[in-house]
Structures are given as structure tokens and as C-alpha cells.
A = this chain, B = another copy of it.
């Protein structure tokens, strides 16, 4: 075995634009709605918490948007990211399939999240904003934004779900190292947080509460804006550097993928890899595109395609998306980054139109795949990313059964250095395999109130 393992681009090949599928959609996206008036949002509705350049990107009709030089300068700290051919995994699976993966874990924060955090910090800085607030669960997004704010000399306040704040101290320490202030949520720093604590002094917190705190913080401080790590169009736009690089690298490998796979929480790493391929699909060619979600939180595979809130407290705009209902609380699976009740409206739309497929796995087979990957390819994958590995391996095993090659490309969105206790649980047989919480889903879906624009 001496064939190429990694496909490495030169620094000059980092993409200089983000690609935007909005103008190429066969049917336009349904617009977000103002939560009070239930009428379509205008840019001014978002101005209290987002800078105008990001709001424009959210609705942009331009097919390409230039990446500012200052953002590229930070991307250069880790981009271009490598594309690997998983030769050792292929051999272990005895498959005729070729498996490629785009690895985003080489960023300082260890995932794809800085691709958008850096852009968001830049545009906010340029708009005169001094501080960004955000929420984080296990800490992937919070640490990415802490890094990005540090790069542009901004302050960063992170509301971290209390149970993670207490149980997962390493990501919190990482945010401190990059200069962020981190509060356990519910906190005493916001009305929303104090209200929750008054009602439930021992509240472990939730992403919904933390979002409410971060949004309130931004809305009540003129020098502060809010920043979101997934779901919205401009976030997925920034992530398209992943897919653009992967296309160049697949070209170096002399192959076209038959199937493109990504794990799916809010949709940002999946969209980042998939959207440049979606543009091909919209022209009638291109690969199958498969989103992989946890069976414990199956928005794309079991949810309803309706208007719903992005948070539990109903502070956010109403978004047309696949959702399990804003009251849905998924079980505590280790892939914390995939525990979101909703889904990117853009990727939901593409799923509805048939350009994107979706499948779901429980976590034990996902960890089976993670372990085999770690023991063949070396890299310890994040539990989130391991959903994509499971699907890629199943594609490769299907190719073996059929006795026909196929070319598989997936996004390895991050490393699992802060998830080793999950591996230990798996190795010692303590990992619980949650079934589809069918009744919970039905109940949560029933609670969604019908909204039409």
C-alpha cells in the first residue's frame, strides 16, 4: 500500500468565496416569521441582534459572496483542511468502495465551527460591536466563538447549559483560555435566567434556556450582538468552504462521489459539505446526499415540516423547518451537538424537494463505527461525526454485498478528544442505546401550533 492517503491543497487554494444556493432553488424558501405578528421578517427585525452584513447574507440573491481578506487570514491558521482516503478502513471492511473523508478537526477548536464563528466575529467587529453573546451545550460552538472573538479583539460571553458546565469542564476551560466569560445557564445575569431559577432553583438548564439568555443579553446591550452556530442560512453559507475544498480534492483524487454524507444536528457541517454538491443536483447531476441524525432526535426522519420556534421560550422567529416541536427534549446521548429539535430551514427545504435524503442511527452502532474508525484511521472521531462514519461504512458494506465499487465522501466534522468518557462507557458496555422515543415525538409534535405565513 503506497498510494496517496491525503489530498492536500496549497494555502492559495483556500476558497475566496462562499457559495450560496438561495438564488438557484427551484422554489424559494418560506421566509421566517415575526413571532408576535406572524408576518414575514424584514431585515430590520433582526437588526437588534445581528449586523446588517450577516442579515443581508441570510437573504442574499447573489450566487457567490466574497470572503473578506481578514477572515481568510484567520482561516489560514488551519485551512485548507485535509481530505483523506480511508484506505485502512476500506481494507478492514474488505470493500470495493472508495471511502473519502474531509477532516475539519484540525481547527484550533477541533471542529468545523470556527468557519462561521470567524466570519460572524469579523462582520460584527466591522459593525462596531464590542461583544458577542451566545449559548453552548457541550461547548463546541462556544469554544469556536471564543477563539474567533479573541482573533478580532472582541469580548465573548457564553451561556453554557449548567449540566455541561459542571460535568464537562474541559470545553469551559478552553473558552477561558481564549478569553471568554462563561456563565452556567440558567444564570443570574438575565431576566430569563433569574426567572427559571426562581421557578426551579436546581434547574440543570437546557439549550432553549441558554438561547433565551444569550438573545436577551444581546438585545439589551447596544454594544453586544448575538451569534448562532448553526441552522441559519448565513451560517451554512460560511461552511461552504468545506464542500468547495472537498470538490477540488476529489478532483485531485480523480474521482466523483456517488454519495455525500454528513451528520445532522442543526445542519451546519452537513450543509457545508453538501451545498456545493446540491448545486450540481439542481442542475440534474451530482451525487446522492445523505444526512445522518441520531435516532434519539430524528427531526428530518420523524419530524413535521412546519413553522416552529427555534427555542423553548419562543423568543426566536418562527422558522419553516423539519421539527420535533420546540418542547421536545431528546435523551442525553453523547452526540450533544445533534440534540436539536429543529433543522436548518434551507436543508429542510432541500429535503422536502427531494434533493437530500436522511437516515437515523441509535448510538451503539454509531460507537461501533467510531471505534473501528479510530483503530484503522487513527483519528478519534467526535460522537457527532461518528454518525456520518456509520453511514459511510454501511454504504461500503452494501458495495461489498453487491460486489460493485462506489465512491463515498463524508465529513469528519471534529475530533473526540473531549468525548473520551463516552468511549470508555462504550468499551465497558455502559452505553445505553436509546430507541426512537416514539410517544415523546408524537406528544411534542402535537404541541406545535399550526402557523401559516
Contact = CB atoms under 8 A, between A and B. Distances in A.
A281 to B, nearest CB: 31
A354 interface: no
B150 A73 contact: no
Interface size of A as a range: 35 or more
Given A108-B378, A176-B424, A176-B427, A73 B2 contact: yes
Contacts of A2: 69, 72-73
Contacts of A421: 169-170, 173
Nearest to A107: B378
A177 B380 contact: yes
B108 A106 contact: no
A444 interface: no
Nearest to A422: B173
A368 to B, nearest CB: 13
Contact of A78 (B110, B378, B418): B378
Given A151-B378, A379-B108, A423 B177 contact: yes
A417 B420 contact: no
A183 to B, nearest CB: 16
Interface string A4-29: 11101011000000000000000000
Contacts of A374: 108, 177-178
Given A174-B380, A176-B427, 8 more contacts: A106-B106, A151-B378, A170-B420, A177-B380, A177-B423, A177-B427, A178-B374, A417-B417
